Amino acid sequence: MRDRQEAARRAKELVAKMTLEEKAEQLRYDAPAIPRLGVPAYNWWNEALHGVARAGVATMFPQAIAMAAAFDTKLMKETGDVIATEGRAKYNEYSEQNDRDIYKGLTFWSPNVNIFRDPRWGRGHETYGEDPYLTGELGKAFVEGLQGDGKYLKAAACAKHFAVHSGPEALRHQFDAKATPKDMWETYLPAFEKLVKEAGVEAVMGAYNRTNGEPCCGSNTLIRDILRGRWKFEGHFVSDCWAIRDFHTQHMVTDTAEESAAMALKAGCDVNCGNTYLHMLKAYEQGLVTEEEITAAAERLFTTRFLLGLFDETEYDGIGLEKVECREHLALAERAAAESVVLLKNDGILPLHKKEIRTIGVVGPNANSRAALMGNYHGTASRYITVLEGIQDAVKDQARVYYSEGCHLFKDKVEDLSATADRISEAITVAKYSDVVIVCVGLDETLEGEEGDTGNSYASGDKTDLLLPKVQRDLLEAMAQTGKPLILINMTGSAMDLRFAQENCAAILQAWYPGAGGGKVIADILFGEISPSGKLPVTFYRDTEELPAFEDYSMKGRTYRYLTGEPLYPFGYGLTYGDIQLKSVFCNGSEVAKGGEIAGKPEEFSLKVLLANDGAIAQEEVVQVYIKADSPNAVPNGKLCGFVRTALQPGESGTVEIPLDRDAFTVVNDAGEKLTDASVFTVSVGFGQPDARTKALTGKECHQFTIRL
């Protein structure tokens, strides 16, 4: 393992040679060079949610929410490693030219492990979904891949946005997210804790909003007491961009920039993304901060730079441009897209058989859209394959492909001088000439994303409801009226109201934002080259009427763990073309029958699940384990506590092992205390949740039994 103690010693020695002004300047995200000490300039700001972002060409993976749908920790670790490799390649090449610009360093402000608690939140597609356990496991794997296990950090990961942050985007600069101790420790904090304690994440970023009255980037409770105190975090803390300015301009908890800078520094914020720390020396002159506090922050930052080997020769120095978007990396991105697509409905129409179809209609604003492939915080690909292009490439001359945009993504017309709905007649004509119609609808980063990031037309990046834009709903209704078989491909980063599609389409694919080559993968799924295997990392609600107010951060009525109504599509749900069956479950080596019981201690339990592929095709599946404690403090619907992805050939049997850690048997009480206060636990093992809706949609039941402590 890398030596933090030695890096800290070297950092302390170097910072001791700096003047007070030099130390204060190093707390900026765009830290200037100190030539007399041999310190080059360094820009701390870089992004890598699903590939190296905003610095030119890089392998573009599916957006984070899509990779979450793969339920694949191995994939996440490999993805992190690829991103670190490409980040090193870029850093090495740019540094050789003394290019120290933004987005060209090795401190990646990823992953986003906020909980996607409300489907209206525009930035939810940056996350790993609504479940704390899934988020923590995937985030941990991503961080481990990104940071590597070498002598030096391959790259530095950052867990964001700490903490209790998930919209509304329009209010984030003045909003106070109020969460009970139970919700804090049961939902909002566990993923951060796992990344700090188990993955050794090098950085943590604060959120814009306040949490229970304190601005997150200046919160003594979050940063000093929990992060550095309770969790013993040793890395550095960075503010979200211009969040510290909000202290005095929006939150009104300070009066001046100097007071805001002092509040953040004293709480433990080391790097200011923004410009408020330009006032740090004035804060010092006013007696608001001490030189020792400035020094401590600078030492933490240089510890990270030494851990990255930025002043040494490292094992990564030979990585060059040939590794960027190389064949192996593109293949991994394609695999990630293949694992992420979720089949929500199939009446038997899929997979399509090329020999049986002479004409295919492809309709919709996302059918030939590059933006719908990308998500936000993306890099640049050297080649994109849209859904239309993927289908055209797949059928070649075997079938005629007709295309119509159908409508604008959200405007009422495509051509400004035309009448409204100016592409509907073309779409209807395409359907008239087609044996089957593939309708590609959804959103992109201009409609769901970060406040102010892309000038989106909806509520500062959030959705006001779960409906597709009206022009797309009109298009879908027009296509349904043609009577032709419809396959819907929904490209969004969040749950949508797909009730009309469920009633009127023969098949539905949730494709998310699948990355630059996503169109090829979608075509491969449509034509049966790949069987879909993704599972929903979020609940698809029927509408927003069953949800609490967006501004309410209580978990009551939210996500699969607390939902009281019936979802349209449940968390963990996803169909396949194959037929993998769960044959038996063993607990601690003994087979447990459905309805059976086994006794033991929390740390002793391990499951082995026997599976068999009874279908005619190769198939991947995700085995999921849920536990419901017989306790008044338990989440009402149980919680995910284990999962594993596996692959089986036709006729093949195999086993997967899923350990149940001590946390699986804990609950959180109203005081925020984690405890085991029950002796009886219902365990459900299957390919989805043990709820009635999943059973109705899949036709499969979970294997349930009881564990008694």
pTM of the model as a whole: 0.98
Q: Answer yes or no: is pLDDT of 459 > 70.
A: no
Residue 509 three-state SS: strand
Direct distance between the N- and C-terminal alpha carbons of the chain, in angstroms, rounded to an integer: 37
pLDDT classification of 454: cutoffs 50, 70, 90: low
Q: Please enumerate, as own/partner, the contacts of 256-265 that have beta carbons within 8 Å and a separation of 24 or more.
A: 258/282, 258/283, 258/286, 258/288, 259/283, 259/288, 260/218, 261/288, 261/289, 262/288, 262/289, 263/215, 263/218, 264/217, 264/218, 264/239, 265/27, 265/289, 265/293, 265/294, 265/297
Q: Answer yes or no: is pLDDT of 457 > 70.
A: no
Q: What angle do CA 229, 235, 239 make, to 5 degrees?
A: 90
Query: Looking at this protein, which amino acid is placed at residue 179?
Result: A
Backbone φ/ψ region at 318: left (φ over 0), alpha (ψ -120 to 50), beta? alpha
pLDDT by residue (tens digit) across 519-569? 999 999 999 999 999 999 999 999 899 899 999 999 999 999 999 999 999
Q: Is it true that domain 580-708 has CATH number 2.60.40.10?
A: yes
pLDDT by residue (tens digit) across 340-354? 999 999 999 999 999
CB atoms within 10 A of CB 382: 13
pLDDT by residue (tens digit) across 37-67? 999 999 999 999 999 999 999 999 999 999 9
Q: Answer yes or no: is pLDDT of 456 > 50.
A: no
CB atoms within 10 A of CB 314: 18
- Cα–Cα distances in angstroms (integers) from residue 451 to residues 140, 170, 277, 460, in the given order: 27, 6, 23, 5
Q: Answer yes or no: is pLDDT of 305 > 90.
A: yes
Cα–Cα nearest to 157, from 188, 190, 218, 112: 112
- The predicted structure's pLDDT at residue 134: 98
Instruction: Tell me which of 240, 246, 270, 497 is the catalytic residue.
Output: 240
Q: Is it true that domain 4-316 has CATH number 3.20.20.300?
A: yes
Cα–Cα nearest to 436, from 392, 412, 408, 402: 402
**What is the pLDDT averaged over residues 634-648?**
98
CA atoms within 13 Å, Cβ hemisphere of 546: 19
At the top level of CATH, the class of 341-538 is alpha beta
Under a CB-based contact definition with an 8 Å cutoff, are residues 85 and 321 in contact? no
Under a CB-based contact definition with an 8 Å cutoff, are residues 439 and 424 in contact? no
Q: Which helix (H) or strand (E) holds 340?
A: helix 327-340
Q: Is the model more confident about 82 or about 453?
A: 82
Structure token pair of residue 101? 């610009």
pLDDT by residue (tens digit) across 592-637? 999 999 999 888 899 999 999 999 999 999 999 999 999 999 999 9
CA distance 600 to 679: 10
Q: Which helix (H) or strand (E) holds 92?
A: helix 73-96
Residue 461 three-state SS: coil
- The predicted structure's pLDDT at residue 603: 83
Our answer to whether residue 453 is catalytic in this structure is no
Beta bridge partners of 608: 586, 657
Residue 391 three-state SS: helix
Residues shown for the chain: 709
CA distance 551 to 549: 5
- Residue ranges of the domains in the chain? 4-316, 341-538, 580-708
Under a CB-based contact definition with an 8 Å cutoff, are residues 388 and 362 in contact? yes
Burial grade of 498 (CB within 10 A; 0-12, 13-18, 19 or more): buried
Under a CB-based contact definition with an 8 Å cutoff, are residues 675 and 669 in contact? yes
Proportion of the chain above pLDDT 90, given as a percent: 97
Counts for the chain of helices (H) and strands (E), in that order: 20, 25
R_g of the chain, CA atoms, integer Å: 26
pLDDT classification of 455: cutoffs 50, 70, 90: very low
Structure token pair of residue 278? 């330009």
Mean pLDDT of the chain: 97
**What is the pLDDT averaged over residues 126-141?**
98
pLDDT by residue (tens digit) across 139-175? 999 999 999 999 999 999 999 999 999 999 999 999 9
